[in-house]
Structure 1
Amino acid sequence: MSKVSIELSASARNARAMILQSLAITNNGDVAGKLGIDPTTLSKMKNERKTNGLTEIEMFCELLHLVGLKIVNADDVYCSVETAEATRELLKNCFNSPDYMRILFK
């Protein structure tokens, strides 16, 4: 296999940062134990670069980006673009109604 260096997408860089920040505030030994791996294996996943220049965590983050997925905080709530557009349209119409605004901000 030839050595090819891959550049992470912005989405993958953000995901990597989220993962590494979360790991920085958790007990990596506990995380590794729950995964059924040795803590050194988890450390290698974070730090050891493969022939493509990426760590395992970076490759996973880029994989998610390539298949159209992203990492978000577990407590965050997201909606589809369609739902956001419908909400925007609804609010735009509602803000044009003084009666609706009076009821909304009663």
Structure 2
Amino acid sequence: MQNITVEQLKSRIEAGEKLNVIDVREPDEYAAFNIGAQLIPLGKIQAMQIEEIEDLKNDELIIHCRSGKRSMTACLFLETMGFTNTKNLEGGMLAWQEKFGENK
């Protein structure tokens, strides 16, 4: 697992890169504010219910949550399942909103 900052992620999104961004928060958190990531709550990852990303084992996955703790756990779980390129968004959505407000 590596780390990525909100600034790095935002500049890559703005550059139009095709990214695999996974939000591991709960659906109500996602509904309140999200940056357009694919929602896969941490509980699904822990239960190994990851069919929708199974074919991305060798691709870069950028994982985020509210503060960075759940996403770190998700990265570690995914690594044990054979994912080779996980990145944890440092500070999560709290850092994103602090830096950029509610903007995507």
TM-score by length of 1: 0.24
TM-score by length of 2: 0.25
Bigger Rg over Cα: 1
- Bigger RCO (CA 8 Å, 6+ sep): 2
Higher strand share goes to which structure? 2
